[in-house]
Structure 1
Amino acid sequence: MKASSDTHAISPSSMAGHDIAALLLRLALGIMFLAHGLTKVLVWTLPGTGQFFASIGLPSWMAWPITGLELIGGALLILGVRVRWVALILAAELAGASMPHLANGWMFTAPNGGWEYPVFLAATALALSFLDGGKLTIARLAGRH
């Protein structure tokens, strides 16, 4: 006997503003994290990123896990996989990334970059962690959520 309603079915009438907001935030942050990670790989290179990290007092080897976190985290956000936890971890990473910029002033266009961009992204990722992934995720579309 078939159930009268499929709890995993997504229709326009079952989507709320919450689901659309979560989708937009996930996509925007996911794309931003992918771009941020790819910049470390393709533009600055991982050794170059490591040199920058060393110049601000971090171990140079941190370039590799931070870049991996941004690339994998960005992809997971886009797909809607474990959004609450991924966004929370990325918010913490961005909060940490804000620290070297605090002395440079507010605007990110300041010499050596100000803190407004990373702090805004940290707050946005934190907000997404509270909002969660919404209904338009790979897990929900596959009927696993």
Structure 2
Amino acid sequence: MIDSRTAPYAVLLLRLALGVMYLAHGLTKLLVFTLPGTAQFFAKVGFAGWLAYPVTYFEIVGGVLLILGIYPRWVAAIAAVQLLAAATVHAGNGWAFGNPGGGWEYPVFLAVGAAALALLGNGKAALLPRPRA
């Protein structure tokens, strides 16, 4: 049984954790690896290099939207798809993310978390959409 008194707070925790993770990864791509460096990495692993730009933008903006609770269900649904695509990069490295090159467990776990958030709803303290009275 789900406790309706605490469930919105659990969703809030999930939303904040995913938002911070996305924001951190996007800022790392932008500020540490740089966009041209990220584009080179994308090309090296088989994605079009230009995808680094919208992916980085989505991770930064999407992370902020999740933290603020602005359309978190939509952001989380898109994030789940993006994370499954990211998992394909690591698929050949085995399951454990500690493997050389990183395995697929971490991006798949995050994709499942994002899918759960998309299914659960906005959670406590979400800005948009506002609950109907």
Q: Which TM-score applies when normalising by structure 2?
A: 0.91
- Which residue does 2:26 correspond to in 1? 37
Q: Would you say 1:110 and 2:110 are equivalent positions?
A: no
The structure 1 residue matched to 2:54, chosen from 44, 60, 65, is 65
Which residue type is aligned with residue 11 of structure 2? A
Which structure 2 residue ranges, 5 or more long, are not aligned? none
* Cα distance in 1 for residues equivalent to 2:5 and 2:91: 38
State the distance in 2 between where 1:60 and 1:36 align: 17
1:43 Cα deviation from its structure 2 partner = 1.2
1:101 counterpart (90, 97, 105):
90
| TM-score normalised per structure 1 | 0.84
Q: How many residues align?
A: 128
- Unpaired runs of 5+ residues, structure 1, are 1-14
CA RMSD in angstroms comes to 1.3
Q: Distance in 2 between matches of 1:33 and 1:74?
A: 5
Whether contact under 8 Å (1:18, 1:131) holds in the other structure is no
Q: Deviations over 1:43-88 (max 9, x none)?
A: 1111110000000111111100000011111111111111111100
- Greater Rg, structure 1 or structure 2? 1
Structure 1 runs of 4+ aligned residues shifted over 2 Å read: none
* Alignment map for 1:1-145 (pairs within 5 Å): 16-139=5-128, 144-145=130-131
